Structure 1
Amino acid sequence: MVCPGKAECGGILSDPYKVIKIDVNANETCTWYIDKDVDQNIRLVFSYFQLNPSSACDRENIVIYDGPSTNSSFLGLVCNNHDSVPVFESSSNALTFRLSTDSTVFQRNVFAFYYFISPESASIKNCGGRLHSPNGSFTSPNYPGSHPPFAYCVWHIQTEANTRINLTFSEIFLEMDDKCRYDFIAVYDGSTTNSGLIKQVCGLIKPTFESSSNFMTVVLSTDYANSYRGFSAHYTSLRIPTPQPNIFLTCSSDMMTVILSKSYLDSLGFNENDLTLNDPNCKPNASNPVTFSFPFNSCGTIKESQNHSISYTNTITAFPTGDVITYQKSVEIVVKCIMENNSTVEVAYITEKDVAENTSSLGRYNLSMSFYESDSFSSPILDSPYYVDLNQTLYAQVSLHSSDDDLLVFVDTCTASPNSDFGSPNYDLVRSGCAKDNTYKAYPVLEHYGRFSFRSFKFLRSHPSVYIHCEILICDSKDHNSRCTKNCMSRHKREIFSYKWKGDAMVGPLKLKRDHSSMDRSGSSAQVYPEKSQDGQTKSLSILTSLVLVTNAVLLAGLAVKHFISRQQGYRYQKLQSY
């Protein structure tokens, strides 16, 4: 190990190899130029860095350029969200990197080393490779002898689908350092060094690691001093009991949620930092698994209306890094929520030139219906059952819970029934937008709300409750010829105009206050009175007998009248005259 001194803020470096220790504070911009008159490339390794943890990448970073100046082509970026040991290789004998810090008071520490490489020096025997067997072993070059200096070896391990990889090091013997800045092994949970770092290790240890998918990447990096035995490792594949879907999509009434399995992203060589939506400012809400959750009216979501459907579409995009060549595919994951008829159809498909995947599921818009105290629709009735007077004006509102402001709610049909299952008998308040009850009143169509009123009634034949069931149409407010902009229409005419979604809402029961008070007086709880004298009891019994006879006479008369009315009219419900 060579103990480096503190590097100045920037400078020109022409040594064939060098360790650079950088300590900087706030508001500094330092640029280093590596250049030497040789026909070789440069490998630059940032084996340890600690930047301000609260700083965003656009305010504090290390930018690497593939050439002798900051005007050279962009090679890469190092910042807080860099989940790997950053390694860069130039395409010529010159390389530039610039460190910029923001105004936060914090001591930054960066440790890096570089060296020049040629095709001859880069081709070390038994240095890296691809391992495809279910089980296998591999070692550092020259093991159990000393590993070579300036080694950078990458092993890509891939086992069968629906398996994980268990990696065991029977020996690691590298240079001792508490931060593993000189010689180290880096283990990644995926198919590339961009898949997410599991751990960076060194010294004299025997660790074990396990991947989350059937891909794992192992890197050995050494500097120019203090070579030891290196390592010996063995891996096995572990069967995953139940494979998880690559993409899981759900669409609620106002937002969509997309979950991408980490193993799927690993197989493509991407992680959550590589993914963007239509609006690149929208980032994943979680990283394991990678989750996007966003309202329909955000993140660049595109809304389309076609025939009988409204769709919301967004695209998750991942692009490979590099300026010249890449071994990765560009991935576009198109997620779409389609609101149609009685359900929400959710569709996702992927385009990768020769790869396409599809998934779908079902959902619904979120509708609710409530009664209100007045036509201001500001104070909902929270009581259930809702006790009302006969012929009382009732105010009802259907609410659509959605983040899309360009939707209209239209109350198409409402039916009343004494039963919650809406069997016979039933009675129409409105059908196809046409009032069937002479007290029904529809209020003007309003975004997300459908409002109406009617006067309360009761069903005959001693049905104490009334339930209201409504069929609701939802339309795009930008479609000026939609069904929601029309009022009463016959079925034949109604088919000419499109609506975008149809849903149901129910509210009830309604009960009469008279039935409520009567039930309170005749409850099952017994009341205890003081004892009376014998004469008092005899007198009360005579009065009670007279009352029973009078009551029976009244009931017989009422039954006769009711029988006569039902034979003459045949109605199953009763309307009262206005007071």
Structure 2
Amino acid sequence: MEVTGRLFIWAILAVSCGAQLNSTEAEGKSRCTASLGGANLGETHKALVLQLSANENCTWTIERPENRSIRIIFSYIKLDPGSRCETENIKVFDGSSTSGPLLGKACSRNDFVPVFESSSNSMTFQIVTGLTKFPRSVFIFYYFFSAATVIPNCGGDLRALEGSFSSPNYPKPHPELAYCVWHIQVGKGYKIQLKFTDLLLEMDENCKFDFIAVYDGPSTTAGLLKQLCGRGKPTLESSSDAMTVVLSTDYANSYKGFSASYTSIYIHDVNTTSLSCVSDKMRVIISKSYLPALNYNESNLQLNDPTCRPNVSNVIEFSIPLHECGTVKKIEDHAISYTNRITFIESPVSAVITRQKLLQIVVTCEMEYNSTVEIMYITEDDIIQNQSVLGKYNTSLALYESDSFENLVQESPYYVDLNQTLFVQATLHTSDPSLVVFLDTCRASPTSDFASPTYDLISSGCCQDETCKVYPLFGHYGRFQFNAFKFLKHLNSVYLKCKILICDNNDQTSRCNQGCVPRRKRDIPSYKWKTDSVIGPIRLKRDRSASRDSGLLPQIHEAEISNQPLSRLYLFSFMVLALNVVIVAITTVKHFLNRWMDHRYQKLQVY
């Protein structure tokens, strides 16, 4: 009877606990307003899976710490596809309530991945659903970030007719909490073909976590061509001369990211001819419809070197190396120009007369300080036309693991020991073998904007730091080394900015060949081109250890359902029931054991 009574009591407890769970669940469904930050949580990032029903109006508020901004990403939205945006939507507000300024709105009909940022101390988002019974699901990821945190090679503007780019650190794992945007813009009359030569991101059916979003236009509000993740080598094409590529990563499961290249495809005759210049070649496009009007065809075209022939498709394309195909280089004050000539060879029918216009196209790429001037002269019976656009020399600055400069440092931030020797290389990406790179000035700063304080490592080609060593001129590479240090009373990061000069190696009086010049003479030695390159951040290893100890870098996703307190109550109730079952079992065993022992040792009665 004693055991039966205990079981009855425990059964009553279990029923009452289940009733409490049901009551809490009902209460949780009726209230969907919750805080995602503030004093109780304070996470620097969070992932949420929201399961919503019909006729709901739910509001969440995110509170951020000081000196941080908020970014929120709705990477997967499944709302009622038949609803109107006015009746079922997601709205994001700048502030702690829905009365703040509206940052933006999203619904099932949006053709983009909604991303919003707020610089105020809070952000509020509201989800309103319609009356239709439909299983709705929204995946949300938000995190706090600082404007001072700069990820190298994360996004940028790509203006050439062809080029390539990759995720930060590729082929090593991409950084956490990255949001990189590349804007690709080619000439009018072209569309863009984008090829991913390598792609490896976190695998997910709906690409909720790490993803690439490719847009058919100049911004992230243009039509979404595709949202990519996992593994593959897809090829995408734009419908116009602009394309936008976005890489978004969360805080876990980093893989090597992606590598991609793009080229422009001529689609119609906006211009009869066009010219673009990159670091190692000129690219000339001639419309096929332009030639018949002059009684020519593609077989009549010839460069300075007639063995260099064009590629013919829907257009005629010359890809002219800067040091081949008869290209002529000219060096003047602070400028280098490359010129070639396309001539139209007439098929003579008479040695005395002609009825064809005398036509030639002179193409010139002129490299100036921070730009490339592309000039095209079309001479047609002494009539000269010209066309010019702007470009840029391709230079880069990077850290290497040793003085062999073979293993590029892909880690960002780059964690080092105090006083560790660091190796820096500036690279000019060009096919012209007669150019040489010189490091004129290299300066360090604790911030990426290089505001005060700063520290000079190299000035006028001379080392200003006792641990600095500048390597001799070596073709397209400028190299130096120094020992790692830390700025006092400032952030733990170090950024480097170097002014790179490019000279003609055959000019013995150039600034590059002058080397260290402590005092500049009144007549400054010549150089042909200059630019600034920046790398960073570099941080001490102890800072990384402190970051890990603080729990800021979890290794797994913490995707939480909106009724997380309910899940914890279920877990607690299950533990209580399990403990009761164990107590019942122990008590039952003890009861039968005592009875058995009583029978075994029963005393005999004495008469």
Q: Of the two structures, which has the highest relative contact order with CA contacts closer than 8 Å and spacing of 6 or more?
A: 2
Scaled to the shorter chain, the TM-score interval is 0.3 to 0.5
TM-score by length of 2: 0.46
Bigger-Rg structure (1/2): 1
TM-score by length of 1: 0.48
